[in-house]
Structure 1
C-alpha cells in the first residue's frame, strides 16, 4: 500500500487519469501513427520518421529499442516509454497541483 492508502495499481491508475498524462499519451499515439504511416509510404526504405516517437518517449524507449529489430519491437518500445513517462507526468502533475499532504494536521 502506498502512503495515501491506495494499492500500487490504484496509484498507477490515478496517475494515468491525470489530464496532463492523457494529453501526453494522445500526442505519443499520434506521433507513432504518423511515423508508421510515413515509413510504410516511403518506398526507398530511408524514412527517419521513427526517430521522433522514440525521442518523445525517451529514455525508456531507448532501452527497449535495443531489443531485436522488428516493427513490433519499435511499437512496444514507444508504447512502454509513453506509459512510463505518462505515469511520471501524472504523478508530478498531481503533486504540483495538490501539494504535499503528508502532514495530517494540514
Structure 2
C-alpha cells in the first residue's frame, strides 16, 4: 500500500485498481450468487438449476468446481474465485486501455 492509498476508502481504492467496469462486474456476480442461494435454499425438491447462472457468469475460472467435492460451500468458493480472477483480468484490461498503446 502506498502513501496515497492510506487516506482513501476501500471502495475508492478498488475503483482505482479494477475500474468501474470491474466493480460493476463484481456487483452483478454478487447479486447472481445471492439470488441463486435464495432460490436453491427455498426449493425443497433439490432440482434447482439456479446455481448454473452465477457459475456461467464467472466462467472459465469457476469451472474448477468440476473437480471439487459436490457441496454448496465449494460452489460458493468456485464462483467467488471465478469472479475474483475475471475482475482482475477486467481491471488489467481497463488499465491497459486507459494507458493507451498509441505508437504515434
C-alpha separation in 1, matches of 2:51 and 2:61: 15
Cα distance per residue 1:29-76 (max 9 Å; x no partner): 000000000001111110000000000000010023420111110000
Count how many residue pairs are aligned between Structure 1 and Structure 2.
Answer: 90
CA contact (8 A) 1:65 1:73 kept: no
List alignment gaps of at least 5 residues for structure 2.
Answer: 1-13
Structure-2 separation of matches of 1:100 and 1:76: 36
In structure 2, the residue matched to 1:6 is none
Tell me, which stretches of 5 or more residues in structure 1 are unaligned? 1-12
Q: What is aligned with 2:98?
A: 97
Residue 39 (structure 2) pairs with residue 38 (structure 1): yes
TM-score of the pair, normalised by structure 2 = 0.78
Say if 1:64 and 1:77, in contact at 8 Å, map to a contact too: yes
What's the counterpart of residue 60 of structure 1? 61
Give the structure with the higher percent helix.
Answer: 2
| RMSD over equivalenced CA pairs, Å | 1.9
TM-score (norm 1): 0.77
Q: 1:47 maps to which residue?
A: 48
CA distance in 1, matches of 2:77, 2:17: 21
